[in-house]
Amino acid sequence: MIYRLPLAVLFLTVGLSAQSRSVVDLTGPKLPARDKKCDIQFFDGKAPDSPHEVIGHIRVYISRDKLVSRSESPVDHSKPEFRKRACRIGADAVVLVQQTVSNSGEFQTLYVKGDAIHFTK
């Protein structure tokens, strides 16, 4: 027996999901990739005092439905994408340096920029 979802339910399911993309600009030494789900530390606006080098700049863009995503902050919503990209370039942490939110009707576009860093000691 084949079950068919009404078009409205299908539209709601697809329409509620967030779309994300990210861009990485490498600036430092090429490091080996880490495991996909590696542990990444996040710092808000200020780099840690421990010795480190910036190895890349990561920009994350997310389009989402405002009504569904009210409880989650732009930064929290972008962390999985930052983690994925930071692990891929061998970073230990990300310093979140900029976030912008633009609204258009019920949709929201998030832009979050961070510096991927590697601890040198």
The per-residue pLDDT for 108 is 85
In a domain, 48, yes or no: yes
Residue-wise pLDDT for 76-104, tens only, equals: 889 999 999 999 999 999 999 999 989 88
Residue-wise pLDDT for 23-44, tens only, equals: 999 998 999 999 988 999 999 9
In a domain, 9, yes or no: no
In a domain, 7, yes or no: no
- Strand order, beta sheet including 93-104: 19-26, 52-65, 107-119, 93-104, 41-44
In a domain, 68, yes or no: yes
In a domain, 10, yes or no: no
Whether the pTM exceeds 0.75: the reply is yes
Q: What gap in Å lies between CA 102 and CA 109, rounded to an integer?
A: 5
In a domain, 35, yes or no: yes
Give the domain CATH number at 35.
Answer: 3.30.110
Show the domain range for 84.
Answer: 18-119
Residue-wise pLDDT for 52-70, tens only, equals: 999 999 999 999 887 666 6
In a domain, 4, yes or no: no
In a domain, 3, yes or no: no
How many structural domains comprise the chain?
A: 1
The per-residue pLDDT for 68 is 65
